[in-house]
């Protein structure tokens, strides 16, 4: 169910224009190496995509009030 739910969220975010910012991975407690790899890869991916564009909008709205 979680896989399906996350897939729903990923597709909704894609439609909205925040593609690729949500990731789900199954990692067992015995898979330390995999954990490190997944987190490193995802961090790198997000770094390349740059900050979430919503953050800028939030700051602008707060500044305007």
Partner 1 sequence: MNLIDQVEQLFIQDKIDIFLGYKALDGHLLPHGFTRDRMEELKALQVSEGRYSLEKIATHLTEKHPDIRIGMIARECNLRTLNLLYTWKQLNPENIETINISCCPSPLKPHSDCSYLEPKQTGAYKKTHGIDFNADPDTFLDDFNNKNRFSRWMYEFNKCIKCYGCRNICPVCFCDECSLEHASLVEPGTLPVDVPIFHLIRATHMAGRCIDCGLCEDACPMDIPLRLLYRQVNAIVSDIFDYRPGNGTDQSPFTIIGEKTVLEPKPMDAQLEGEKEYGL
The span from the CA of 64 to the CA of 38, in Å, is 39
Residue 14 binding partner 1, by CB under 8 A? yes
* CA 49 vs CA 1, 36, 39: distances in Å: 28, 20, 15
Site map for partner 1, 28-57, x if CB under 8 A? -------------------------xx--x
23 binds partner 1 (CB under 8 A): no
Q: Is 5 in the site for partner 1 (CB under 8 A)?
A: yes
**Tokens at residue 50, please?**
């740059």
Under a CB-based contact definition with an 8 Å cutoff, are residues 49 and 21 in contact? yes
Binding site for partner 1 (CB under 8 A): 1, 4-5, 7-9, 11-12, 14-20, 53-54, 57, 61
């Amino acid at each position: 169910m979680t896989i399906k739910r996350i897939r729903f969220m990923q597709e909704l975010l894609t439609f909205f224009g925040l593609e690729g910012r949500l990731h789900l991975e199954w990692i067992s407690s015995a898979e330390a190496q995999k954990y490190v790899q997944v987190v490193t890869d995802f961090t790198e991916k997000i770094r390349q995509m740059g900050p979430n564009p919503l953050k800028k909008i939030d700051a602008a709205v707060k500044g305007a009030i």
